[in-house]
Amino acid sequence: MEFAVADGGYRAVCLHTDPAVPGAEAFWRSLGTVVHDERRDAEHPQSLVHFELPVGR
């Protein structure tokens, strides 16, 4: 994440995880905020959860 801040001045990074992986969803929930849960997307149901993690300067 340091690269994203230094190179582009970003304030947050987004990532996605597969909640079927044991502990993955709980881990990322402890660090970031859910921005989209594909399991609840009626048009494009998938199994990924997207998170936003704040980064500091």
**The pLDDT value given to residue 33:** 94
CA dihedral over 20, 22, 24, 29, signed as positive or negative: positive
Q: Is-contact 12 53, C-beta < 8 A?
A: yes
**The pLDDT value given to residue 30:** 94
Average pLDDT, 10 consecutive residues per value, the chain (57 residues) = 75 89 94 92 82 82
**The pLDDT value given to residue 26:** 95
